[in-house]
């Protein structure tokens, strides 16, 4: 993924108002992020424990989502699987909920997915971060195939939010 600027991220949100996008906390360390290893940029809001965000590029343009999520104290403690990267965790999968874009979202409609609580799917897929001792499911897919699966799952989630 190419590096995104703070301005690109703020203008890419599809499921919150321009005012909300202007006020949300964008990571200050964008230049230090491992962009070559990211399929999407994601972060939890340090000021709002129940908020998380993700940004990616689809069809050559930035796209970002605001998510509601449980606080770290509420993360699942039993083995669970992320629906984006299909990584099994001993702990650390949470239901992330996005308001739908447009009028549907204004009416309270949402879309949810179980995701890595730390939103580090890209790093788990590449083996740069470990999900927990003894929980990695054996797969015959290559790393590139796992990356493509993650991108496909993320694209499908975004499509549900923007439908």
Report the percent of the chain where pLDDT is more than 90: 74
Question: What range defines the domain where residue 117 resides?
Answer: 6-162
Please determine, for residue 77, whether its predicted confidence score (pLDDT) is greater than 80: no
119 inside domain:
yes
Domains: count for the chain: 1
Whole-number pLDDT of residue 76: 54
**Residue 98 · residue 66 · CB < 8 Å:** yes
What is the pLDDT, as a whole number, of residue 78?
67
Greater confidence (70 vs 17) lies with 17
**d(Cα 40, Cα 9) in Å, to the nearest integer?**
11
pLDDT of residue 138: 78
User: How high is the pLDDT of residue 18?
Assistant: 94
Q: Report whether pLDDT(97) > 80.
A: yes
Q: Average pLDDT of 98-113?
A: 96
Q: Is the pLDDT of residue 80 over 60?
A: yes
Assess if residue 84 is contained within a domain. Answer: yes
With respect to residue 1, please indicate whether it lies within any of the assigned structural domains: no
* Those residues with Cβ within 8 angstroms of residue 142's Cβ, 6 or more apart along the chain or in another chain: none
- What is the rounded distance in angstroms from the CA atom of residue 156 to the CA atom of residue 105? 17
> Is the residue at 149 inside a domain?
yes
The Cα–Cα gap between 145 and 98 comes to 26
pLDDT at 163: 93
């Amino acid at each position: 993924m190419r590096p995104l600027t703070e301005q690109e991220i703020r203008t890419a949100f599809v499921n919150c108002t321009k005012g909300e996008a202007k006020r949300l906390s964008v990571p200050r360390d964008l230049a230090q992020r491992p962009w070559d290893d990211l399929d999407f940029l994601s972060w939890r809001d340090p000021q709002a424990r129940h908020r998380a965000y993700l940004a990616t590029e689809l069809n050559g343009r930035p796209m970002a989502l605001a998510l509601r999520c449980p606080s770290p104290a509420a993360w699942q403690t039993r083995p669970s699987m992320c629906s984006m990267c299909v990584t099994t965790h001993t702990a650390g999968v949470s239901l992330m909920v996005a308001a739908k874009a447009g009028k549907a979202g204004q009416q309270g409609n949402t879309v949810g997915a179980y995701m890595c609580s730390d939103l580090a799917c890209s790093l788990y897929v590449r083996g740069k971060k470990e999900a927990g001792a003894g929980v990695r499911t054996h797969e015959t897919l290559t790393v590139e195939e796992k990356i493509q699966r993650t991108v496909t799952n993320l694209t499908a989630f975004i499509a549900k939010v923007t439908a």
